[in-house]
Amino acid sequence: MLGNLEISASGLEANRVWMNTIAENIANASTIEKDGQNVPYRRREPIFSVRQSGNARAVQVKAVVEDPSPFRLEHDPGHPLANDQGKVAYPNVLVIQEMVDMMMANRSYEANVTAMEVTKSMFSSALRILA
Amino acid sequence: MSGMLGQIFDRGVLAGLERSVNFTVARHQSLLSNVANADTPGYRRTDMDGTEFRRLLDRSYAADSRHESSAFDRANIGAPRLVSGPRGPFRFSAKGRGPLRHDGNDVSVEREMAQLAENAGQYSAYTALLRKGLRQVRAAITGRPEES
Amino acid sequence: MAIPGSNSLPGVGSTSPLSTPGLGKKAAAETPGSSFADVLRNSIREVNDLQVTADAAIRELTLGKTNNVTEVVNQVEKADLAFRALLAVRNKLIDAYEEINRLRV
């Protein structure tokens, strides 16, 4: 029974990492400069994988990787960071998409919280046999 | 268990309730795993086959009334405890898979939560009834009807 | 769970008239077919029936043939109370028997 709390806890942790990553993406959605160069922030996302132990399948974040999709180019010749073609590169972050992901991560987090509560109440029921 | 204790605990409703409790406990673990992996790419939900379990339970009750050993006993070597491992006959069936998403995951969190709640409700009912039955045995043993 | 040994309660097998012979005969004449022994036997049978019903209800619940937990719980509680009542009566009977045995006649 107590190993079950571990399964839900892994879900909480994985989703927390996900939410932190999303928050970082949103915070840096307009970061286009580093050391005076046009170096846009590159979107990051966690890779979830199963962590199996006996019949229990917990979840873990195997890694947080960078999104390889191309940067967004905007035509802005007057911009100080514009290149020869007058384009400025922006992060490959779509804030709308990040918000949707944030809702998903939050929902999954809450689901694991509820699941943990169910486990705890079952444990109490078991102990009540003795009471 | 043998002899007198076996008569009380390994037969009839007390055994049936204990087996049912063990089943809901094992199923709970599957459902928790599904919830934790709701967003894991390639993850397929697992569950346990209640229909198969109940079929065996039904035959076990029938065997009890004929004073035979039950299908459970033959599968689990004696005590009415569900083998909660890969050897268990209804472990992690592949049924009940929902729609498959683009990341290879087929978990519907809402459905899992509903199953989790229903399963936990059954667990509560079975443990309460088990408690009642054990209290009654205790009253019979001590001869004290007021003990609860 | 049927109740074993229901025929072995002391003094139940026959109606023994108490100290006053006349009173005993009169009592026996007034209630011909319904001795205390019969009442007790009926109670035991009823408790057993309730237990059988409750057990059947529990089996149905575990087999998924019903999900009316309230009904099952009611049956179980009734059977349990009846059993405990009978147990209390049995205890009183034994106490009374032992007390009578202690009387110096």
Per-residue pLDDT tens over the stretch A118-128: 999 999 988 88
Nearest alpha carbon to residue B33 among B48, B18, B19? B48
| Residues belonging to chain C with any Cβ–Cβ distance to chain B shorter than 8 Å | 1, 55, 58-59, 61-64, 69, 72-73, 76-77, 80, 83-85, 87-88, 91
Nearest alpha carbon to residue A101 among A23, A9, A12, A29? A23
Query: Which distant-in-sequence residues (6+ apart) come within 8 Å of B121 by Cβ?
Result: none
How confident is the model over B72-97, as a mean pLDDT? 48
Q: Which residue of C has its CA nearest to B125?
A: C69
A89-93, B15-19, B80-84, C69-73: which has the minimum mean pLDDT? B80-84
**Residue A57: what are its φ and ψ, rounded to 5°?**
-120, 100
Q: How far is the C-alpha of C47 from the C-alpha of C2, rounded, in Å?
A: 9
Kindly state the DSSP code that residue B103 receives in the 8-state scheme.
T
pLDDT value of position C29: 47
Kindly state the DSSP code that residue B84 receives in the 8-state scheme.
-
The answer to whether the beta carbons of residues B47 and B53 sit under 8 Å apart is no
The answer to whether the beta carbons of residues B26 and B82 sit under 8 Å apart is yes
Q: Which residue of C has its CA nearest to B11?
A: C1
> For residue C49, is it within any domain?
yes
ipTM (interface pTM): 0.89
> For residue C2, is it within any domain?
no
Kindly state the DSSP code that residue A78 receives in the 8-state scheme.
T
A85-94, B15-24, B47-56, C68-77: which has the minimum mean pLDDT? B47-56
Q: Which residue of A has its CA nearest to B34?
A: A57
The answer to whether the beta carbons of residues A15 and A38 sit under 8 Å apart is no
How far does Cα A32 stand from its chain's mean position? 21
Residue reference for tokens 């915070």: A27
List the single best residue of A10, A59, A109 to mutate versus B (max B Cβ within 10 A).
A59
pTM, 2 dp:
0.80
Q: Are the Cβ atoms of C59 and B146 closer than 8 angstroms?
A: no
Q: Which residue of C has its CA nearest to B135?
A: C80
pLDDT value of position B85: 39
Angle between helices C36-62 and B12-36 (to 10 degrees): 20
List the single best residue of C9, C52, C62 to mutate versus B (max B Cβ within 10 A).
C62
pLDDT value of position B111: 93
How confident is the model over C6-12, as a mean pLDDT? 45
> For residue B64, is it within any domain?
yes
User: Number of folded domains in chain B?
Assistant: 1
pLDDT of A17 > 70? The answer is yes
Chain B positions in Cβ-Cβ contact with residue A105 (cut-off 8 Å):
39
> For residue C50, is it within any domain?
yes
- Which of the four pLDDT bands, split at 50, 70 and 90, describes residue A115? very high
Q: How far is the C-alpha of B110 from the C-alpha of B105, rounded, in Å?
A: 14
Chain B positions in Cβ-Cβ contact with residue A127 (cut-off 8 Å):
none
pLDDT value of position C31: 54
pLDDT value of position B92: 56
**What's the whole-number average pLDDT of chain B?**
80
> For residue C10, is it within any domain?
no
pLDDT value of position A101: 96
Q: A24-43: per-residue pLDDT in tens?
A: 999 999 999 999 999 999 99
Q: Are the Cβ atoms of B129 and C61 closer than 8 angstroms?
A: yes
Q: C90-104: per-residue pLDDT in tens?
A: 999 999 999 999 987
Residue reference for tokens 């995951």: B105
User: Number of folded domains in chain C?
Assistant: 1
Domain of C81, in residue numbers: 35-102
How far does Cα B122 stand from its chain's mean position? 9
pLDDT value of position B74: 52
Q: Quote the minimal CA–CA distance from C12 to chain B in Å.
A: 19
Highest-confidence range of A89-98, B83-92, C40-49, by mean pLDDT?
Answer: A89-98
How far does Cα A68 stand from its chain's mean position? 16
| Residues belonging to chain A with any Cβ–Cβ distance to chain B shorter than 8 Å | 1, 3-4, 7-8, 10-11, 14-15, 18, 47-50, 54-59, 104-105, 107-108, 111-112, 114-115, 118-119, 121-122, 125-126, 128-129
CB-hemisphere CA count at 13 Å for B141? 10
pLDDT value of position B62: 87
Q: Are the Cβ atoms of B29 and A10 closer than 8 angstroms?
A: no
Domain of B137, in residue numbers: 3-142
pLDDT of C12 > 70? The answer is no
Query: Which distant-in-sequence residues (6+ apart) come within 8 Å of B74 by Cβ?
Result: none
> For residue B147, is it within any domain?
no
pLDDT of B58 > 50? The answer is yes
> For residue C90, is it within any domain?
yes
B15-19, B26-30, B123-127, C19-23: which has the minimum mean pLDDT? C19-23
pLDDT value of position C70: 95
Q: How far is the C-alpha of B68 from the C-alpha of B60, rounded, in Å?
A: 9
Kindly state the DSSP code that residue B136 receives in the 8-state scheme.
H
How far does Cα A98 stand from its chain's mean position? 9
Q: Find the angle CA(B79)-CA(A54)-CA(B22) to the nearest 5 degrees.
A: 35
How confident is the model over A105-115, as a mean pLDDT? 97
Chain A positions in Cβ-Cβ contact with residue B28 (cut-off 8 Å):
4, 118-119, 122
How confident is the model over B30-44, as a mean pLDDT? 95
Chain B positions in Cβ-Cβ contact with residue A121 (cut-off 8 Å):
120, 124
Of B41, B46, B130, the CB nearest to A48: B41
Q: Find the angle CA(B44)-CA(B48)-CA(B49) to the nearest 5 degrees.
A: 120
Nearest alpha carbon to residue A10 among B115, B40, B23? B40
Q: C29-48: per-residue pLDDT in tens?
A: 455 567 888 888 999 999 99
Chain C positions in Cβ-Cβ contact with residue B24 (cut-off 8 Å):
none
Three-state DSSP string of chain C: CCCCCCCCCCCCCCCCCCCCHHHHHHHHHHCCCCCHHHHHHHHHHHHHHHHHHHHHHHHHHHCCCCCCHHHHHHHHHHHHHHHHHHHHHHHHHHHHHHHHHHCCC
